[in-house]
Amino acid sequence: MGNIKVMSENLANKIAAGEVVEKCASVVKELVENSIDAEATIIKIELQNGGLKLIKVTDNGKGMDEKDALLAFQRHATSKLIHEDDLFFINTLGFRGEALPSIASVSELEMYTCNKDVGTHILIKGGKLVTNEPSDARIGTSISVSNLFYNTPARLKYLKSEQSELGNTVAFIEKLSFAHPEISFELINNDKTVVKTSGSNNLLKTIHEIYGLNVSSKMMELSVKNDDYEVEGYICKPEILKSNKNHITTIVNGRVVKNFELNKAINEAYFRYKPDIKYPVAVIKIETDPTLIDVNIHPTKQDIKMSKMDELCNMLISSIKDILQKELLIPNALKAEAVMEPIENTLIKNDAVNKVLEASLPKNLNEDIQIELNLNINEKETPYKEITKEDNTVITNPEFKKLKLEVIGQALGTYIVAQTEDGLYLIDQHAAEERVNYEKVTKEFENQDIKTQETLIPITIELSTSDFIKIKRHLNILEDMGFKIEEFGLNTYTIKEHPSWLKEGHEVEIINNIFDSIIEVGDKFDRIKFNNYVIATIACKMSVRANTRLSMEAMERIIEDLMKCENPYNCAHGRPSIIKFSNYDLEKMFKRVMN
């Protein structure tokens, strides 16, 4: 007799539940998405103990008759796909027909549903039908799930604490409310409302309802499209930053997705406006032809594949950068939420790169010493072109350049104090001059070819076999940086030419560290960012330090140069360079106004 047998439907459902239902939030996700597909406009989620005891989802959607209600609990039964070709034109959140039978197989599930005059009441325990009877008529569906994983103890023990399970559910409902601002969501835990949206179909209002006024008032609208994608949403000013990526919400065709490339593109657009350890707040909605995306690659359907991803990411980066360059981004001193730690090199997290910088820079570099990089920078001469009305130069940060900052003094030997008709400004003198120097050095790098010099005696670098192979795969990186490198015997390279900015006497040490960096990051090595690390550190060393008394002329020169920068709001490492006390803030602090 054969050993292979067809497993029972209930066993198959339990196995499927391991993929579809991981935690309480997974149950909420599947039930709420079914409600959305049923065209509900009001969805209410009620939890007991964060969902560990009870999950109940009630909607005013289309509902089901008795036949469909029973059929919905059969594996792969769905109303969303009929023909095989429909898989390429998915416009619904669900389509697999796995969620309801999977959930019912590992819990006690009770459903009331109605689409006409008579409702249906169904009770299922551990995948077995217990009750099927008529019920009161209320258009819509209500599903209660209790004792989750009661019959699969191995899964039950991996459920987390009430607060952790509740936090996962809240995070999902918040993001789903952004995807569907036309739907009113209410999440209740232990009879206390945790999340509630109005269903106004106004995304900015929904952001306000979820994140509050401090964030919604700092949102900037994003709208851009090409032949394949239409992107709309809101991005937050960089004065409000978060310690993780959880506040970057990407939505594709109404589906909340977790896509590494999209998140990276959005974060990349804020490059130089924030430290690397901080992340922006953004809600991005992308609409495209269903044939350009594939949502059928993971049971949770949150990870998707998209065609022409590079074009989409480039469009996102350029459009976000354009918005940031046009808006006035000076944070209000009394309302800034982001805590910007006093960091010097948060951008440089690679140890190998750190060693390169330490060996590359002169030990006593300050504002009076020319840097040894063949850049020929004269600090008294600005490389920026003076902008006039007749000039065709694209003016970046026009709102900032309209400010007429009048320097009135210095505070604590560190902050330049300036004023306008609108209020008082504090400028971090080190951060401001670091930004000025950073852009000067960057332009010098961009405006000249890489200068190299030959070695009197070729430098030989011996590696292990595995490291030798890794370097061989990325020789183009070294050649682009200005190295002339050749293979020389077993697992050895010889360098006959190198960039002129390598510090004399430290060439071997620096080259070894560059090799280590390339070996560590491989294909992810980014020459532009590597150069940025070097330039940022140089700019920092060139700039006036804190606790340094400056003359009025010196402070005015810093402000004048800062006004000409492409990004005057942050130092090279992302810390803010300027903050504002508005007239209203000052009057409120001194009780001149009482509201």
pLDDT 10s digits, 74-133: 866 565 545 455 445 556 665 555 778 888 888 899 999 998 888 999 999 988 899 999
User: Between 593 and 409, where is the model more confident?
Assistant: 409
Q: Which residue has the higher pLDDT, 519 or 438?
A: 438
In the numeric block, which tokens belong to residue 475? 């020789």
Q: What is the structure's pLDDT at 376?
A: 37
- Of residues 324 and 90, the one with the higher pLDDT is 324
**373 pLDDT tier (thresholds 50, 70, 90):** very low
- In what helix (H) or strand (E) does residue 59 lie, and over which residues does it extend? strand 54-59
Alpha-helical runs (H) found in 327-464 = 351-360, 398-401, 429-446
Q: Which of 37-51, 178-192, 448-462, 508-522 has the lowest mean pLDDT?
A: 508-522
Average pLDDT over residues 162-175: 92
Reported confidence tier of residue 375, pLDDT bands at 50, 70, 90: very low
Structure tokens at 398: 């026009």
Where do the H-state alpha helices sit in 425-567? 429-446, 465-473, 475-481, 507-521, 527-542, 552-563
Alpha helices in 187-249 (DSSP H): 203-211, 213-216
Domains of the chain and CATH, by start: 9-196 (3.30.565.10), 203-326 (3.30.230.10), 367-446+544-589 (3.30.1540.20), 452-539 (3.30.1370.100)
* pLDDT of 184 above 90: yes
Provide the pLDDT for residue 356. Answer: 54
Q: Is the pLDDT of residue 370 over 70?
A: no
What would the mean pLDDT of 426-451 be, rounded to a whole number? 82
Query: CA–CA distance from 526 to each of 352, 353, 517 (Å)?
Result: 14, 12, 10
Task: Flag whether pLDDT at 377 surpasses 50.
Answer: no
Least confident segment among 92-106, 206-220, 290-304: 290-304
Q: Which of 263-277, 282-296, 371-385, 391-405 has the lowest mean pLDDT?
A: 371-385
Given a cut of 90, whether residue 342 has pLDDT beyond it is no
Collapse the DSSP code of 582 into the 3-class scheme (helix H, G, I; strand E, B; otherwise coil) and give the result: strand
Q: Give the pLDDT of residue 382.
A: 36
- How much is the pTM? 0.73
For 276, the 3-state DSSP assignment is coil
pLDDT at 563 over 80: yes
Q: How far apart are CA 411 and CA 113, in angstroms?
A: 68
**Average pLDDT score over residue span 391-402:** 67
Residues whose CB is less than 8 angstroms from the CB of residue 374 and which lie 6 or more positions away in sequence, other chains included: 451, 500, 501
Other CB atoms within a 10 A radius of the CB of residue 139 amount to 15
- In this predicted structure, the answer to whether residue 378 has a pLDDT above a threshold of 50 is no
For residue 402, give every residue at least 6 positions away whose Cβ sits within 8 Å of its Cβ, in sequence order, or none. none
Give the list of residues 6+ apart from residue 521 with CB closer than 8 angstroms, or none.
350
Task: Note the helical H segments in 257-397.
Answer: 260-269, 309-326, 351-360
Across 93-107, 139-153, 518-532, 555-569, the highest mean pLDDT is recorded for 555-569
